[in-house]
Amino acid sequence: MNPTDSSPAERALADREKTAAIERWLTEQIAAEAELSLEQIDLQQPIASYGVDSMQVVTLLAQLEDRLGFRFASNPLDEHPTIAALAQFAVSQTANVSTQS
């Protein structure tokens, strides 16, 4: 379905679902990298606080880019350091890319 064909409410719902999916995926990846259980991961905590280093961050963001089909222009964690913020930002970027294409 073309996003521009849907109503704002439908788009908002879709975005929320996408955001939740990305949050889940990020939570799983970070828990695995940091060797923590899923319950120990807080969506509102900075990702860096879980002990993942820059190379793990690079890999994680590259995988996220591949999943979403676009590339970040700069390190998104500078402005969006938490899982929740990053997921939201990623969804907004996806929407922008879709609109542009």
Partner 1 sequence: MSHTAESQPGRQVAPPVPTGGVWVVLVQLGLLAALVRLYQVEQQRHFFPLLCLLIGGFAVHACLPATRRMGWFACLSIASVFYILGAVPAAWVLAIVGCVIGIARLPVRFAIRASLLAAGMLALTVCRARFPAPFWPVLGSMLMFRLLVYLGETRQRTSPDSLAATAAYLFMTPNVSFPLFPVVDYQTFCGAWRAGNDPAVQQRGVNWILRGVVHLLLYRYIKAYLVPLPHELYDLPHIALFMATNYALYLQVSGQFHLITGLLHLFGFDLPRTHHNYFLASSFSDIWRRINIYWKDFLSKFCFFPVLYLLRGRGASLNVAVVTGVFAVFVATWLLHSWQTFWLLGRFPVTANDAALWLGAGACVAVNALWETRRGGRRSRTAWTAVREAAQTVGMFGLVSLFWAIWTRPGFHLIVLGVWQRPDALRGAAVVAGWAAAAALGVLFWNMWEQRWTARTAGRPVLSLRDHARLQAVALALLLAISLPRFSSLLGPRWSQALADFRTDAASRQAVAADRLQGYYEDLNTAAIQAGPLVASFSPADESRRRLARGFDKIARKADLYQELELIPDLATDLDGTQFTTNEYGMRDRRGLSLFKPRDTIRIALLGSSIVMGYGVTDDEVFGRVFEKQLNASRPAGAPHVEVLNFGMGKQWATHRLVRAQRMIFGFDPDVLMYVAHQDEVATIEQHNARLLWNGLPLPSPHMQAVADAAGISADMPEGAIASQLQSHRVEMLQAVYQTFVEECRSRGVLPVYVYMPIPGSVEEDPGPQFLSLAERAGFVTCDLTGWATGAKLADLFPPDDTEHPTPLGHRLIAQALLQLVKQRPELIAAPSP
Secondary structure class of 82 (helix, strand, coil):
strand
Binding mask 52-91 for partner 1 (x = CB under 8 A): xxxxx-xx--x--------xxxxx--xx------------
Q: Which amino acid is at 81?
A: P
- For residues 1 and 73, which CB has a smaller minimum distance to partner 1 in the complex? 73
Cα separation, 65 vs 70, whole angstroms:
5
Provide φ and ψ at 82, rounded to 5°.
-100, 165
Residues that bind partner 1 (CB under 8 A): 32-34, 36-37, 40-42, 45-46, 48-56, 58-59, 62, 71-75, 78-79
